[in-house]
Structure 1
Amino acid sequence: MATKPTPGKIKGLKAVSDARGVIAAAAMDQRGSLQKSIGAARGSAASGDDLVIFKELVTKTLTKYASAILLDPEYGLPAARQRNDAGLLLAYEKTGYDATTPGRLPDLLDLWSVRRLKEAGADCVKILLYYTPYEDATVNNLKQAWIERIGDECRWHDIPFFLEPVGYDEAGKGEKTLEYARKKPSVVTKTMEEFTKDRYGVDVLKVEVPVEMTFVEGTKAFKGESAYTRAQALQYFRDAETVTDKPFIYLSAGVTNPIFIETLALAGESGTKFNGVLCGRATWYDGIKIYAQQGAAAFEAWLDTTGVENIQNVNEALKAASPWYLKYGASSLAEL
């Protein structure tokens, strides 16, 4: 059983949870990737204003159906003012990673600190970290020390720390191969096992599911090349859960809404007691082309229909999730 959080951390976790104690959050902190996608769909470069407007529209609509929204302080603060009383998570890392050195090393935003994020209204702080246990030990040691510093900063300011470790192929062959799909369960599980250690100060792990759905036999997402049977996939979900006593939630990892819904159904079928989602592109990604080619009004209309349908599909799938307070031996939010 996890150690009970401090009062500030409990307050922050409650702020981003629904009435059940499940984190049903939307993610809209994409920056570089979003700018490239809008530009590619439009055929000309997207501006910073495009990011601000896109984030405002997503936040204004989807937070009517979400317990919280994840934004970035660079382009997302105007959107934060339109979040319909939903909780607020703010990203602390720079977009992308250092491509000039091996190992996908991260960096923090130059003009921000945990103190400043909290002053800007953040209920929780989020860090994305590209990480694989199979990377060179020197690289991983740098990353681990980096996370320790952030954990201590969040402890000092008594605010929840959400860590989003994203796996990658250290050999550079990519993450969509059969070889990586077979390796992914151990990448996810060993990473969760590492960062559940108290030294890092992580309060919630925002993790990938431990399988690549397109390689799972017996699923709608299956594309014909098998890395695991359905029974094996279910066991990988269970195995990952056993290595942590901390709350953990799933990210959508850029898959389509139907695939993410099927993924959550598989997690539920496995009996895994996950505690929610931080779901981004599975709800709004298909609207990028509409925004880029038809403008803000058309995108808002799309969000009001398809976007809402997408997030309601996620919320329906979240019936399989468990309240995070159970990790602390509480039987209700009121007990904490």
Structure 2
Amino acid sequence: MSTSANIGDLANVSSGAKPVHVICLGLSALDQVWRVDRPFSGGSEKIKAVAYGTLGGGMAANASVAVAKLGASVAFWGRAGNDAAGHEMKSAFTAEGVDVENFRLFADGRSSVSGIIVDSSGERQIVNFRGLFPEAANWLPLDAVARASAVLADPRWVEGAATLFCEARSRGIPTVLDGDMADAEVFERLLPLTDHAIFSEPALTAFAGSADDKSLAALARFGCRVIAVTRGEGGVSWYEDSELHRQAAFSVDVVDTTGAGDVFHGAYTLAIAAGLDVRAAMMFFGGHGRHEMPPRRRPQRNPHHQRVSCIHEDEAMRTIGKNRGLARLADADGHFRIVALDQRPPLFDAIAKAKGITRDQVEYSDVTAAKRLLVENLAPHCSSMLFDPNFAVPAAIDLLPPRCGLIMTLEEHRVEETAGGRKSRAITNWSVDKIRAMGGDAVKVLAWYRPDADAAVNEHQKKFVREIGEGCARHDIPYVLELLVYPFLGSANHTADYVESPGKLPALVIDSVREFAKPEYNVDLLKLESPLAANSLPARDGSAEAKAAQKEFDAIGDICRARNIPWVLLSGGAAPEKFERVLDYSYAAGASGFLAGRTIWLDAVLKNFPDRAAVAASLRKDGLNVLDRLSELTTAKGTQWKARYPGFTDIKQEGDFARAY
């Protein structure tokens, strides 16, 4: 039977056309997970966690949830204490659709609990208390094995695994062993009862003396049909029918390897249960299982708490919701021609100056009146607009044209200014959830950032950006991140205003982009400032000075191109002709548009407010003239963004997509 035909059999698993039932037996643990922001040093140290959570874990437990996510019937057989951890695990299984009738909670037992530390590279360290409960397995309902299409066990409950495997063998049902670390006598007892033994490299080394391919052949003496070893990014090797085979791993951006091997075992067991041959089963995990931990979608990587998708995507492809959202922000040609009116302090200052009053004297009604004028006169002429929730939405949401995309800002304009740098926070009572609920097409966040700021300040900023990115991933909504360099408190050119820092160094801008283009932040569109001050940018005329300037823009373009993240330019209030020059350099480096505000509308407010008719007339004449020039330049030179949707090659029948997404 061909590999493709075998994989096609899995389309029938959950439809009932080919019913499959899997039993997973072994460890269920309650995992307490700490995330830290740097790799481990290897010595004694105290590390501050940037996140903490409690999740279900355990090898066979994770495998059972993976099987359930892939659409098959699955039961977990295991032991825990009749304690809070045991009940929490049982409830989690039930919520995931796993049969727990034979997950027994012993009155005098103690549940297994693990502590997991995940570092910034995605690697982890695990400490496990394996629990206290009876070893005997005479209570297992062996008649129920007759329903199974395949069974899996890990080595943590030897009596249970041996009992289950003996019964399955007697009925001709395939047995799969999760070969994790265990004493040699455990494997010597279980391997003769095993059809498919899949080791981790450390476990194979500990048992056979080496994890090389020769060790697989040496273990053939136990009579297993397949002896395999998973090698992480090196793929998987296996010995079958006196021959060695290999399957390469797919390349993905690692976020967290916790549970990855367990998902492999669950997916492989399901494939064997469905009748696939061994190579097809290995390819099923390689081609499908990687989506259980996609790089840009699931901040939580433990299989107890994530969706499994059977939709083929390459590793740089965005999800359907993010693609649809970005398409709403762009015009029909794939250019982002976005007008920003989420500004708060800059607009307060403009109104105050126009009226001859102080910023504190500006009234709420003045701000909403100004924003309504901006939307009324500019919205029909741009691809999307950037709103804030407290002023722009109540002022003018009713005026936003249906075909104009809506980006909602999330950050509070008031920052915590410290000697070591600026700290951002979200607007009070505002969230990604609310933005998605109100129909926003994207979430925008401004992060003040300097790579040379105090380490604690930068960690705060990274966490702020990362957590919002995780929220956007959960809600499948595009994440627009704006980055701005700023002057330090007490420096000669310090200001809290939203103005370009004249003394900024290109490296500060470029290194900031390099940091936040990392997959861990889940950014979909970058809103960036010029790496060089707009007022000092030379004409792009081929001179040595212009070529040197172009290299700075190209550095940004290279980073964004490598991460497949489109980027647009903010105006920073630059004069129109200066901003056009910024765009000229940026478009040569691969930028896809602009997200500008003050350059387009500031003069109309400064010169005419509170005369609303005069503001409107100025916007229609001068404001639109600037906007049209920027749009023409963008259409002529900007890089077109294109949505990249999945190919749906595994969607074969009604119900497949709804289950997989």
Per the normalisation by structure 1, the TM-score is: 0.88
1:253 alignment partner in structure 2? 572
2:513 alignment partner in structure 1? 192
Distance in 2 between residues matched to 1:70 and 1:112, nearest whole Å: 16
One-letter amino acid of the counterpart of residue 248, structure 1: W
One-letter amino acid of the counterpart of residue 103, structure 1: G
2:621 alignment partner in structure 1? 305
More strand by proportion, 1 or 2?
2
Q: Is the 8 A contact 2:318 2:645 kept in 1?
A: no
* Partner of residue 274 from structure 1, selected from 573, 591, 616: 591
Displacement of 1:100 after TM fit?
Answer: 5.8
- Of structures 1 and 2, the larger Rg is shown by 2
* Partner of residue 428 from structure 2, selected from 105, 110, 115: 110
Distance in 2 between residues matched to 1:56 and 1:203, nearest whole Å: 28
One-letter amino acid of the counterpart of residue 55, structure 1: K
Distance in 2 between residues matched to 1:123 and 1:215, nearest whole Å: 35
One-letter amino acid of the counterpart of residue 343, structure 2: Q
Distance in 1 between residues matched to 2:459 and 2:508, nearest whole Å: 16
1:296-330 CA distances to partner (integer Å, 9 max, x unpaired)? 1110111111111110011011121112228x599
1:9 alignment partner in structure 2? 322
Tell me the C-alpha RMSD between the 2 structures. Answer: 2.3
Are 2:468 and 1:147 equivalent residues in the alignment? no
Distance in 2 between residues matched to 1:10 and 1:93, nearest whole Å: 23
2:254 alignment partner in structure 1? none
Q: Which blocks of at least 5 consecutive residues in structure 1 are unaligned? A: 221-227, 331-336
Q: Is the 8 A contact 1:32 1:96 kept in 2?
A: no
1:252-272 CA distances to partner (integer Å, 9 max, x unpaired)? 11111121112212333xx21
1:166 alignment partner in structure 2? 484
1:126 alignment partner in structure 2? 444
One-letter amino acid of the counterpart of residue 605, structure 2: I
Secondary structure in 1 aligned to 2:458? helix
1:211-254 CA distances to partner (integer Å, 9 max, x unpaired)? 1132234479xxxxxxx922211111111211222111110111
Q: Which runs of 4+ in 1 moved over 6 A?
A: none
1:177-233 CA distances to partner (integer Å, 9 max, x unpaired)? xxx75752111110110001111111111101211132234479xxxxxxx922211
1:229 alignment partner in structure 2? 545
Distance in 1 between residues matched to 2:411 and 2:538, nearest whole Å: 36
One-letter amino acid of the counterpart of residue 429, structure 2: L
2:363 alignment partner in structure 1? 47
One-letter amino acid of the counterpart of residue 184, structure 1: L
One-letter amino acid of the counterpart of residue 433, structure 2: R
Distance in 2 between residues matched to 1:174 and 1:16, nearest whole Å: 35
Displacement of 1:159 after TM fit?
Answer: 0.5
Distance in 1 between residues matched to 2:527 and 2:345, nearest whole Å: 20
Secondary structure in 2 aligned to 1:274? coil
Are 2:354 and 1:35 equivalent residues in the alignment? no
Secondary structure in 2 aligned to 1:90? strand
Distance in 1 between residues matched to 2:333 and 2:492, nearest whole Å: 41
Distance in 1 between residues matched to 2:356 and 2:416, nearest whole Å: 27
Q: Is the 8 A contact 2:325 2:478 kept in 1?
A: yes
* Partner of residue 522 from structure 2, selected from 198, 201, 204: 201
Are 2:331 and 1:18 equivalent residues in the alignment? yes
One-letter amino acid of the counterpart of residue 324, structure 2: K
Secondary structure in 2 aligned to 1:93? coil
Distance in 1 between residues matched to 2:627 and 2:545, nearest whole Å: 29
One-letter amino acid of the counterpart of residue 322, structure 2: K
Secondary structure in 2 aligned to 1:64? helix
Residues 100 and 37 (structure 1), Cα distance of their counterparts in 2 relative to 1, 3 Å cut: farther
Distance in 2 between residues matched to 1:81 and 1:67, nearest whole Å: 17
1:43-69 CA distances to partner (integer Å, 9 max, x unpaired)? 122211111111111111111110000
Secondary structure in 2 aligned to 1:99? strand
Question: What is the aligned length?
Answer: 316
Are 2:469 and 1:156 equivalent residues in the alignment? no
* Partner of residue 401 from structure 2, selected from 80, 84, 87: 84
Secondary structure in 1 aligned to 2:505? helix
Distance in 2 between residues matched to 1:207 and 1:325, nearest whole Å: 20
Residues 46 and 286 (structure 1), Cα distance of their counterparts in 2 relative to 1, 3 Å cut: same
Secondary structure in 2 aligned to 1:125? strand
Distance in 1 between residues matched to 2:433 and 2:618, nearest whole Å: 37
Are 2:598 and 1:314 equivalent residues in the alignment? no
Displacement of 1:287 after TM fit?
Answer: 1.0
Q: Is the 8 A contact 1:213 1:219 kept in 2?
A: no
Residues 192 and 329 (structure 1), Cα distance of their counterparts in 2 relative to 1, 3 Å cut: farther
Distance in 2 between residues matched to 1:69 and 1:10, nearest whole Å: 18
Q: Is the 8 A contact 1:163 1:206 kept in 2?
A: yes
Q: Is the 8 A contact 1:60 1:84 kept in 2?
A: no
2:641 alignment partner in structure 1? 324
Q: Is the 8 A contact 1:134 1:170 kept in 2?
A: no
Distance in 2 between residues matched to 1:53 and 1:91, nearest whole Å: 19
Secondary structure in 1 aligned to 2:391? coil
One-letter amino acid of the counterpart of residue 436, structure 2: K
Displacement of 1:175 after TM fit?
Answer: 7.6
Distance in 2 between residues matched to 1:3 and 1:53, nearest whole Å: 42
Displacement of 1:79 after TM fit?
Answer: 1.6
Residues 117 and 101 (structure 1), Cα distance of their counterparts in 2 relative to 1, 3 Å cut: farther
1:223 alignment partner in structure 2? none
More helix by proportion, 1 or 2?
1
Displacement of 1:282 after TM fit?
Answer: 0.7
Secondary structure in 2 aligned to 1:211? coil
Distance in 2 between residues matched to 1:46 and 1:281, nearest whole Å: 18
One-letter amino acid of the counterpart of residue 472, structure 2: C
Distance in 1 between residues matched to 2:579 and 2:414, nearest whole Å: 23
Distance in 2 between residues matched to 1:185 and 1:255, nearest whole Å: 17
Displacement of 1:115 after TM fit?
Answer: 1.1
Residues 67 and 90 (structure 1), Cα distance of their counterparts in 2 relative to 1, 3 Å cut: same
Distance in 2 between residues matched to 1:261 and 1:144, nearest whole Å: 31
* Partner of residue 216 from structure 1, selected from 532, 537, 547: 537
Displacement of 1:42 after TM fit?
Answer: 0.9
Distance in 1 between residues matched to 2:406 and 2:340, nearest whole Å: 10
2:265 alignment partner in structure 1? none
Distance in 1 between residues matched to 2:528 and 2:406, nearest whole Å: 19
Q: Which blocks of at least 5 consecutive residues in structure 2 are unaligned? A: 1-313, 496-500, 647-661
Identity level (%): 28
One-letter amino acid of the counterpart of residue 516, structure 2: F
